């Protein structure tokens, strides 16, 4: 049952058996986040998070990213199990306003579930009034949010990626929606961060019908309950969380993102340039220790170009594996957060006596658009990994799990792999000859030089095929150099 604080002024006649929230459902939010889902996705919120209009929302001490998200809440009236899109809206009894509060400081520990950051007491206020569903057109509703009296969110359900009926029909394929259940239908652009002292108001209305939920009011206060590190996850944030909580880098007070070093033009050059040629040009510039040695591809004939995302393993110690090896550990974080055109480079100290990745992680990296994986350790499920469309370079196959030799420790730091030092953002290029690390500042120059040398070598090869002696053309003497330059000038 609800507590007295929850029941007071709540528009719900009974506690829901579940609260289901949609991730991204408005076109404006998808544009803001830079990603548009192909299908709806969901997470659950506990019923203990329900609160009424006029209640306070606590931001725990030591945190900074309490984010508001004005949303339209659907209240299920009759049970729905495997219902059609055409019949879905008939299972909704009412709609009202909601604010899907979240504490982004805890998202790092909550990947996918949102339990810690969105499940706290009072983080699902609803109300104040209900609008009867049969009185409105679900595609003609308006949602607005005010922060300290200023309008910060406004959108209509005509701009949904996934109409309400689709959400209900989809959910009913997987579970029974029961009377009283609440569906939070996502937030439009403009969701951002609130501070203690801020007042947020959310209203849902049907302008054509003259109906409104009234304004759902929440006031943010500084909480008093702290987090115990010895019990579980504690808050921590980075600039990515700040950007997503505030809605943009600009709103979060962060500098504009740097232009990518690996441009499409540079990537095309590096895909054409052989690693042997790149190695030769790096040596000319005094860099001899830039190859990741002792690794070979699971898919011979493939080419890999990307920027380094680093992951470090330390030697296995049972107590440390107990504290760092389970849950959403550093290894899983790296594979679950790798971006398009990134290469996961793993420091395994040359220890190939266990796997450092297997088929599931390889599939996740491929789904994320990763450019590949390099590890100076072993690979489990080797044949399956080799069949995945993802370049992987390793010291070979090994059937043992990670914990036999390694503890996943940390990510995104300078590491050593195969005798080379790799920093996050270094450019990694690989082919059948091996793997090379290019400092970003030199990459374009080295690529251009390697391609020019490749053209020259191809011409030399033609001369050798024609019967000319190697001593004259490889390397070219002055006479042959002049002939080469003259032919190039003629096109």
CB 393 within 8 A of CB 295: yes
DSSP class of residue 339? P
Which 3 state secondary structure label does DSSP give 171? helix
Between CA 143 and CA 15 the distance in angstroms is 24
* pLDDT, mean of residues 24-42: 91
* Structure-model confidence comparison of residues 337 and 491, the more confident one: 337
* pLDDT, mean of residues 6-27: 83
* pLDDT, mean of residues 192-220: 97
Answer yes or no: is pLDDT of 6 > 60. no
Q: Crossing angle for the helix pair 359-367 and 330-337, nearest 10 degrees? A: 30
Residue percentage of the chain with pLDDT more than 70: 97
- 214 assigned binding-site residue: no
Between CA 252 and CA 292 the distance in angstroms is 38
Give just the sign of the alpha carbon dihedral 43, 47, 52, 57: negative
Across the strands, what pairs with 422? 415
DSSP string, 18-31: -EEEES--BHHHHH
Predicted structure pTM score: 0.64
Across the strands, what pairs with 187? none
Burial class (CB within 10 angstroms; exposed 0-12, middle 13-18, buried 19+) of 376: buried
Domain spanning 4-246: which CATH class is it, in words? alpha beta
Residue 229 CB contacts under 8 Å (≥ 6 apart), including other chains? none
pLDDT band at 9 (very low <50, low <70, confident <90, very high): low
Per-residue pLDDT tens for 256-271? 877 778 999 999 999 9
Q: What is the pLDDT of residue 491?
A: 67
Q: Which two tokens stand for residue 448?
A: 């251009």
CATH code given to domain 289-438: 3.50.30.40
Residue 413 CB contacts under 8 Å (≥ 6 apart), including other chains? 310, 312, 424
Per-residue pLDDT tens for 298-311? 999 999 999 999 99
Average pLDDT, the chain: 92
| H helix or E strand, kind and range, residue 343 | strand 342-347
Instruction: Sort residue 112 into left (φ over 0), alpha (ψ -120 to 50) or beta.
Output: left
- 410 assigned binding-site residue: no
Answer yes or no: is pLDDT of 347 > 90. yes
- 361 assigned binding-site residue: yes
- 286 assigned binding-site residue: no
Parse the chain into domains and list their residue ranges: 4-246, 289-438, 445-489
pLDDT band at 488 (very low <50, low <70, confident <90, very high): confident
CB 170 within 8 A of CB 41: no
- 380 assigned binding-site residue: yes
Cis check: omega of the bond before 93, within 30 degrees of 0: no
- 120 assigned binding-site residue: no
Residues in the chain: 491
């Amino acid at each position: 049952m609800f507590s007295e604080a929850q029941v007071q002024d709540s528009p719900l006649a009974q506690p829901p058996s579940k609260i289901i929230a949609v991730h991204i459902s408005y076109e404006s939010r998808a544009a803001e986040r830079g990603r548009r889902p192909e299908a709806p996705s969901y997470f659950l919120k506990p019923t203990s998070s329900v609160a009424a209009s006029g209640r306070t929302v606590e931001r725990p001490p030591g945190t900074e990213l309490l984010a508001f998200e004005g949303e339209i809440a659907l209240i299920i009236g009759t049970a729905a199990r495997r219902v059609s899109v055409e019949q879905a809206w008939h299972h909704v009894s009412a709609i009202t306003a909601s604010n899907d509060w979240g504490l982004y400081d805890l998202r790092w520990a909550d990947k996918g579930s949102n339990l810690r950051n969105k499940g706290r007491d009072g983080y699902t206020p609803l109300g104040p009034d209900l609008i009867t569903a049969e009185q409105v057109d679900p595609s003609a509703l308006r949602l607005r949010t005010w922060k300290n009296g200023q309008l910060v969110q406004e959108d209509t359900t005509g701009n949904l990626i996934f109409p309400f009926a689709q959400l209900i029909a989809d959910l009913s394929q997987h579970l029974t929606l029961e009377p009283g259940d609440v569906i939070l239908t996502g937030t439009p652009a403009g969701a951002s961060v609130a501070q203690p002292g801020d007042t947020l108001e959310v209203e849902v209305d049907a302008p054509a019908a003259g109906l409104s939920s009234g304004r759902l009011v929440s006031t943010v206060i500084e909480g008093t309950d702290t987090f115990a590190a010895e019990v579980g996850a504690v808050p921590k944030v980075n600039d990515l969380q700040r950007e997503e909580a505030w809605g943009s880098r600009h709103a979060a007070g962060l500098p504009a993102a740097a232009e990518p070093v690996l441009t499409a033009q540079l990537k095309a050059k590096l895909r054409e340039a052989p690693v042997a040629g790149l190695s030769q040009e790096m040596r000319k510039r005094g860099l001899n220790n830039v190859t990741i040695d002792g690794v070979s591809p699971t898919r011979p004939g493939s080419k890999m170009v990307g920027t380094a995302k680093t992951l470090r393993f330390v030697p296995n110690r049972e107590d440390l594996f107990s504290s760092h090896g389970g849950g959403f550990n550093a290894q899983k974080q790296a594979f679950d957060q790798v971006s398009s055109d990134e290469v996961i480079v793993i420091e395994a100290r040359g220890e190939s006596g266990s796997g450092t990745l297997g088929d599931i992680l390889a599939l996740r990296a491929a789904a994320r658009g990763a450019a590949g994986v390099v590890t100076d350790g072993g690979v489990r499920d080797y044949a399956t990994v080799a069949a995945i469309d993802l370049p992987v370079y390793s010291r070979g196959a090994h059937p043992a799990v990670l914990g036999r030799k390694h503890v996943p420790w940390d990510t995104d730091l300078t590491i050593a792999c195969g005798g080379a030092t790799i920093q996050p953002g270094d450019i990694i290029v690989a082919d059948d000859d091996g793997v090379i690390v290019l400092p970003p500042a030199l990459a374009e120059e080295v690529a251009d030089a390697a391609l020019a040398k490749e053209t020259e070598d191809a011409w030399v090869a033609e001369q050798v095929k024609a019967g000319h002696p190697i001593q004259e053309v490889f390397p070219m003497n002055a006479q042959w150099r002049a002939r080469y330059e003259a032919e190039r000038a003629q096109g």
